[in-house]
C-alpha cells in the first residue's frame, strides 16, 4: 500500500523517460542489483556493443571483486530507505577486463510501478591514476616504497584505496579482506575517535602534526 507521502513523491513514467533521455553521461537504472536500463554511454564505457547485453543481469558482475560487496550493500540499504552515501567511488570492469574507476551518484526514484535506483557515473580513472602517480612520487621521495618495513596506507572518504605488503603482514589480513575494512576496523577502540578526527582535519586541509 502506498502512503499519501509516497504518492506525492512518485515520478510519472513520462517524466522519468525525459530525465533518462536527456542524460548525457553514463547512466543505469536498476532494481536492487538487477539492471533494467543502461544508456549507450555506459555501454561504451564498459566496451559493450549494445546496452541490450546488460539488461536483466546482476550489475555486480561488472564491478571489481574488491568493491562488489560494498556497492551491493549500498544498493540494498538505499532501497530500504537507510542512510548511505549518495556519492562514492568504485571500480568497474569492462568486457575486456579493463579496470575503470568511476565516481557514482545514485538515488532512489519512486516510479508508478515501484522504486528503482538511478545511477549516474563519471569516469575518473585518469584523475585517480595521476593522483596515485603523484603520491607514489612523494612516497619515493621519502623512501617509503612498497617494500618498506613500515605499513603504508592511503585512505579516502570511501575507505582504503592503497596498502603496501607490510600492511597485510602486520594486520594479518589478505589484500581482498583489507580493502573491505574501514579505519575503525584496524584502530584500537580507544584511539578510533582521535584517528578519525585527525583524518577529517587532514581532508579539510587543516594544519595537523605529521607524526602522532
What share of the chain has pLDDT > 90, as a percent?
32
101 DSSP β-pair partners: 91
Query: What are 92-120's pLDDT values in tens digits?
Result: 999 999 999 999 998 888 877 788 888 99
Alpha carbons 180 and 102: distance in angstroms, whole number: 18
Q: What is the pLDDT of residue 9?
A: 44
71 vs 150, more confident: 71
Q: What is the pLDDT of residue 43?
A: 94
What share of the chain has pLDDT > 70, as a percent?
84
pTM: 0.58
Q: What is the pLDDT of residue 208?
A: 82
Q: What is the pLDDT of residue 3?
A: 39
DSSP label at 11?
Answer: P
Q: Is the pLDDT of residue 141 over 70?
A: no
Q: What is the mean pLDDT of residues 142-165?
A: 77
3-state secondary structure labels for all residues of 113-138: CEEEEEEEEEECHHHHHHHHHHHHHH
Grid cell at residue 65: 571483486
Q: What is the pLDDT of residue 122?
A: 92
Alpha carbons 202 and 122: distance in angstroms, whole number: 25
Alpha carbons 28 and 21: distance in angstroms, whole number: 12
Q: Is the pLDDT of residue 11 over 80?
A: no
Query: What are 180-197's pLDDT values in tens digits?
Result: 998 899 999 998 888 888
Query: What are 70-84's pLDDT values in tens digits?
Result: 998 988 888 888 888
Q: Which of 165, 158, 212, 206 is nearest to 187 (CA)?
A: 212
Q: Residue 24 half-sphere exposure, CB side, CA atoms within 13 Å?
A: 1
Amino acid at each position: 500500500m502506498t502512503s499519501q507521502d509516497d504518492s506525492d513523491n512518485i515520478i510519472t513514467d513520462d517524466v522519468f523517460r525525459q530525465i533518462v533521455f536527456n542524460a548525457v553521461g553514463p547512466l543505469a537504472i536498476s532494481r536492487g542489483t538487477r539492471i533494467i536500463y543502461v544508456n549507450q554511454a555506459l555501454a561504451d564505457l564498459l566496451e559493450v556493443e549494445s546496452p541490450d547485453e546488460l539488461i536483466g543481469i546482476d550489475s555486480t558482475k561488472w564491478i571489481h571483486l574488491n568493491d562488489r560487496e560494498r556497492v551491493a550493500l549500498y544498493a540494498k540499504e538505499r532501497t530500504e530507505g537507510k542512510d548511505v552515501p549518495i556519492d562514492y567511488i568504485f571500480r568497474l570492469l569492462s568486457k575486456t577486463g579493463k579496470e575503470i574507476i568511476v565516481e557514482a551518484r545514485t538515488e532512489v526514484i519512486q516510479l508508478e510501478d515501484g522504486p528503482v535506483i538511478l545511477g549516474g557515473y563519471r569516469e575518473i580513472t585518469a584523475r585517480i591514476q595521476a593522483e596515485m602517480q603523484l603520491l607514489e612520487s612523494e612516497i619515493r621521495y621519502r623512501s617509503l616504497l612498497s617494500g618498506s618495513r613500515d605499513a603504508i596506507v592511503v585512505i579516502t572518504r570511501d575507505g582504503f584505496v592503497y596498502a603496501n605488503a607490510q600492511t597485510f603482514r602486520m594486520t594479518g589480513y589478505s589484500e581482498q579482506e583489507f580493502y573491505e575494512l574501514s579505519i575503525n576496523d584496524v584502530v584500537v577502540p580507544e584511539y578510533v575517535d582521535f584517528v578519525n578526527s585527525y583524518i577529517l582535519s587532514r581532508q579539510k586541509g587543516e594544519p595537523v602534526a605529521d607524526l602522532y
